[in-house]
Amino acid sequence: MSPGLVISVLAQLEQNGLPCLLFGGWAEEALGLAIPRAHRDIDLLLPANSFSALDSLLHVRAAEFKEIPLKRFAHKRAFVFEGVMVEVILVQDTGQGAVTHFWGDRLFAWKLPLKEECQLGGRSLRSASRQNLEYFRKHHALTEPSRWKDPASLITSHRFATGD
């Protein structure tokens, strides 16, 4: 996977009203926190009130953005774009800070500022801040990551599943 694909998915999302921030390994690399390496996926943060715009995009443009139903949670959506998995974590603005409700009931407060500029593949992008990348890595266990295996954590999309 190349930086070009990362740039492409970010551009496609932005063009559809979803200005995501680069997160995870790609963000660490773009900010010089990690050496370049092979990546399995693309991690993003979506600063928004809800996933409604992303859910709509996944429904309307399902051929390009193939949703992964087993990764549909209160805090996350995932899809395949050009053969690569993209995971998107929702970050909501409370007016006093930025938070993610992992699993719907596990509050994770992000540090402010949430984002900063980075360089990837010769392009300027927005990513999660260095402080947030380090903070998330240090406190990842607090988000109870093992819950992704619990079927009760999944959120189904009745509206899109029934075509209503």
**Residue 157, SS3?**
coil
| pLDDT at residue 147 is higher than 50 | yes
| Range 21-50 average pLDDT | 95
User: Using one digit for the tens of pLDDT, what is the confidence trace for 88-115?
Assistant: 999 999 988 999 999 989 999 999 999 9
Question: In terms of DSSP bridges, do strands 98-102 and 106-110 run parallel, antiparallel, or are they unpaired?
Answer: antiparallel
Q: Which residues of 87-120 are buried (b: 16+ CB within 10 A; e: fewer)?
A: bbbbbbeeeeebbbebbeeeebebbeebbbebeb
pLDDT of residue 1: 80
pLDDT at position 115 is: 96
pLDDT at 98: 96
163: confidence class by pLDDT, cuts 50, 70, 90: very low
Domains and CATH numbers, the chain: 3-162 (3.30.460.40)
Q: What is the separation, in whole angstroms, between the first and last Cα of the chain?
A: 36
Per-residue pLDDT for 159 more than 50?
A: no
Across all residues in the chain, what is the average pLDDT? 91
The whole-model pTM stands at 0.91
Mean pLDDT for the stretch of residues 149-161: 70
DSSP H/E element including 130: helix 130-139
Please report, for residues 8, 37, 50, 73, 144, the alpha-carbon distance to residue 11 in angstroms, rounded to integers and kept in the order given: 5, 22, 20, 24, 31
Strands 41-47 and 84-93: parallel
Q: Is the preceding omega at residue 47 within 30 degrees of 0, hence cis?
A: no
**Alpha-carbon dihedral sign for residues 89, 93, 99, 102:** negative
State how beta strands 76-81 and 66-67 pair: antiparallel
